[in-house]
Structure 1
Amino acid sequence: MKKVNVLILAGFLGSGKTTLLKQILQREKEMNHKTAVLMNELGEVSIDSDAVPSDVPLKELLNGCICCSLSDQLEKQLWGLCKENELDTLIIEATGAAHPIDVLDACLSPYLLDELHVAGIISVMDAPRWLNRDTMSVQSKMLMIEQIKHADYLIWNKTGDLKKEEIQQLKDDAARLNEGTPSILTDLAKVDLDALMNLTRKERKKHQSIPAEKLKVKTWVYPFKGAVKKEAFENWLREMPSSIYRIKGYIKLEDEQIYLFQYSYGLPNYEKEFMKMPLRLVFIGENLDTAILKNGLEKLVI
């Protein structure tokens, strides 16, 4: 019986996993491969699932991490995707708080051995955030190290504006933490997709488990009651604490246009959205002071 080829997309919050996912899905469509996606979000609201075309089977695990609180559900969802669809490829996009080996272990469950061939773990790393990791909590730094150490393919993303010495630092860190593993420096998660789809999973050593609870990463959703001025909104963003790792959702600006908004490591991004989506932002980070966030956001509404 043909097994389903499984790719695990790992990497810290906002590193570019969903951008890579969209490229893989396009490639698999061109190859006439039947592909499904399992997506995990820490919070109760899913935003990134909009990146998955409607003709691609999708299952979501919300409000928890598939490496700990949702591990049992992961097995069931994987089983369901395989039984409900004749798949060639299955892509698992883990939450940025997940340890990749814990996700891998779930895929290697005895119940799934006859169904799945796990090609490997692709870690997408936010290069500027890695280089400035000393501003992050100890647990978050440890998780990023683990995501590098256990990758079968390492992608240093957002490298376009880095200096030569910073580029060299990334190469040195990759060699030190995960010697011999293919790695690439890129922007917008652009990679050789053929190489990516032909991974070889390496032998694993014991890993240091970092439960999501210890990370203290929380999510908070803010629903907007109207449009906001872009300039005022971005001025507010500049005051954001570094402990907020990711913001994503839908926002309406003064031009009355709805935008898919994404924010990671100080960089905002807007994409026009032509469907009438609910106006809300999901905040992901540590030590979220929701009272201060809510007060600031309420003042922005026109």
Structure 2
Amino acid sequence: MQIQRVYIYITIVFGENMNIKIDIISGFLGAGKTTLLKKLLEGELKKERLAIIENEFGEVSIDGDLLKGTNIDIKEISSGCICCSLEGDFKEAIKEIIKIYHPTRILIEPSGVSKLSDIIKSCKSIDGIEVNNIFTVIDALNFKSHLDNFGEFYKDQIINAKTIILSERKSDEDKLIVSISQAIRKINKKCSIITAPLKEIDSKDILAIAKKDLEMISENYIEFKKSFNSMSVSRVRHAHNADNIFNTWGVETSKDFSMFKLRDIFDEIMKSDEYGNIIRGKGIVKTNNGEWIEFHYTPGRFKINPTTTQGIGKIAIIGEKIDKNKLNRLFA
């Protein structure tokens, strides 16, 4: 049985009273949901009083640690799959958050294998809230593979999004981005598609795009230009079986890792199938020179960034037919 954690993050910033909005940030495993969430928190939304519900799929919690540097108090409210608790604890938790903290906006980041349609349906059934922005973040590099292999979860996140953001793209991938945008448009004809890299967009522009009623716009593309950067927006029964499809392996560790060692480990994971079909890896560990880093792996990509000091290192792996014994040895 996999463990999924639901956390509440309450910002200490007070905003004006208004109708309570719910924004949902969905996306498949490793797409960049937490990156988008941090960008929004550090930008326009920091002016509001926020509550954030985050659900992780796996045996150890990492994303919560990555958000600790954003002036947020962390409160754990329940455990279990956010998708499977929509009719129970999840809805009651939202009502309790509203009663106690009076947020102006609630942000929900479900796990990468949650069904977006079920989350939207449940949120709409709660009195006193308005489902507002619905984002889906898509990993451009692995779009075709995920669409082919995980259609049930993947297509649901595309069909029900209002705004889709293509993450992890490079400047020389224009043909690939056009192809992906066309494929998305066949699945969802009404969403906006943001094709610029997340690092080149600020939160004000993302929220401005998300609020636009694209049905009222006759042009096929809207261009936003800032200094030397630009981005294009193209107008272009409950079945949650994640535990039956995906396996997880996780560990808390006090071991130090060199960045070269980590790269070698994930090179080995990418080249060999003896560890299983690994589709997501992430962690926070201490390096052999005393610094703390966070790392993120999806097939074909491995990134390392500095992070804040932690109490203990954590590593999480998600995939299919994972061999936990071999992973234990690999990270030993």
Fold in common (TM above 0.5): yes
- Give CA-to-partner distance per residue, 1:106-132, whole Å, 9 cap, x none: 2122xx222x11114211111111033
Give the secondary-structure state (helix, strand or coil) at the position aligned to 1:98: coil
Match of 1:113 among 127, 132, 140: 127
What's the offset of the Cα at 1:230? 2.4
Give the secondary-structure state (helix, strand or coil) at the position aligned to 2:189: coil
Further displaced range: 70-79 or 121-130: 70-79
What's the offset of the Cα at 1:161? 5.0
Give, in whole Å, the separation in 1 of the partners of 2:84 and 2:212.
26
Residue 133 and residue 55 in structure 1: after superposition, are their counterparts in 2 closer, same or farther (change >3 A)? closer
Give, in whole Å, the separation in 1 of the partners of 2:135 and 2:259.
35
Residue 140 of structure 2 corresponds to residue 127 of structure 1: yes
Give the secondary-structure state (helix, strand or coil) at the position aligned to 1:174: helix
Equivalent residue, structure 2, for 1:291: 325
Residue 253 of structure 2 corresponds to residue 224 of structure 1: yes
Residue 290 of structure 2 corresponds to residue 256 of structure 1: yes
C-alpha contact 1:38 1:60 (8 A) present in aligned 2: no
Match of 1:156 among 163, 166, 182: 166
C-alpha contact 1:228 1:252 (8 A) present in aligned 2: yes
Equivalent residue, structure 1, for 2:309: 275
Residue 53 and residue 99 in structure 1: after superposition, are their counterparts in 2 closer, same or farther (change >3 A)? same
Q: Percent identity?
A: 25
C-alpha contact 1:123 1:154 (8 A) present in aligned 2: yes
Give, in whole Å, the separation in 2 of the partners of 1:176 and 1:29.
32
Give, in whole Å, the separation in 1 of the partners of 2:119 and 2:33.
15
TM-score of the aligned structures, taking structure 1 as reference length: 0.84
Residue 245 and residue 59 in structure 1: after superposition, are their counterparts in 2 closer, same or farther (change >3 A)? farther
Residue 252 and residue 57 in structure 1: after superposition, are their counterparts in 2 closer, same or farther (change >3 A)? closer
C-alpha contact 2:133 2:210 (8 A) present in aligned 1: no
Give, in whole Å, the separation in 1 of the partners of 2:74 and 2:253.
27
Residue 27 and residue 231 in structure 1: after superposition, are their counterparts in 2 closer, same or farther (change >3 A)? closer
Give the secondary-structure state (helix, strand or coil) at the position aligned to 1:97: coil
Residue 61 and residue 166 in structure 1: after superposition, are their counterparts in 2 closer, same or farther (change >3 A)? farther
Give, in whole Å, the separation in 1 of the partners of 2:154 and 2:111.
13
C-alpha contact 2:23 2:134 (8 A) present in aligned 1: yes
Further displaced range: 277-286 or 96-105: 277-286
Residue 214 and residue 232 in structure 1: after superposition, are their counterparts in 2 closer, same or farther (change >3 A)? closer
Give, in whole Å, the separation in 2 of the partners of 1:296 and 1:283.
12
Give, in whole Å, the separation in 2 of the partners of 1:120 and 1:29.
13
Residue 95 and residue 200 in structure 1: after superposition, are their counterparts in 2 closer, same or farther (change >3 A)? farther
C-alpha contact 1:6 1:92 (8 A) present in aligned 2: yes
Give the secondary-structure state (helix, strand or coil) at the position aligned to 1:132: helix
Give, in whole Å, the separation in 2 of the partners of 1:221 and 1:255.
24
Within a 5 Å distance, the mapping from 1:50-89 to structure 2 comes to 50=65, 51-53=67-69, 55-56=71-72, 58=74, 60=76, 64-69=80-85, 71-89=87-105
Give, in whole Å, the separation in 2 of the partners of 1:214 and 1:281.
19
* Alignment gaps of 5+ in structure 1: 203-207
Match of 2:196 among 186, 192, 195: 186
* Alignment gaps of 5+ in structure 2: 1-16, 216-236
Residue 220 and residue 195 in structure 1: after superposition, are their counterparts in 2 closer, same or farther (change >3 A)? same
Residue 276 and residue 122 in structure 1: after superposition, are their counterparts in 2 closer, same or farther (change >3 A)? closer
Residue 278 of structure 2 corresponds to residue 244 of structure 1: yes
C-alpha contact 2:254 2:312 (8 A) present in aligned 1: no
TM-score of the aligned structures, taking structure 2 as reference length: 0.77
Within a 5 Å distance, the mapping from 1:2-81 to structure 2 comes to 2-30=18-46, 32-50=47-65, 51-53=67-69, 55-56=71-72, 58=74, 60=76, 64-69=80-85, 71-81=87-97
How many residues align? The count is 286
C-alpha contact 1:10 1:95 (8 A) present in aligned 2: yes
Give the secondary-structure state (helix, strand or coil) at the position aligned to 1:239: helix
Equivalent residue letter for 1:17: K
C-alpha contact 1:10 1:147 (8 A) present in aligned 2: yes
C-alpha contact 1:120 1:201 (8 A) present in aligned 2: no
Give, in whole Å, the separation in 2 of the partners of 1:195 and 1:286.
38
Q: Which has the higher strand share?
A: 2
- Give CA-to-partner distance per residue, 1:162-214, whole Å, 9 cap, x none: 53331221121122111131111122363623325636699xxxxx9541336
Residue 72 and residue 215 in structure 1: after superposition, are their counterparts in 2 closer, same or farther (change >3 A)? same
Considering only aligned residues, what root-mean-square deviation do their CA atoms show, in Å? Answer: 2.7
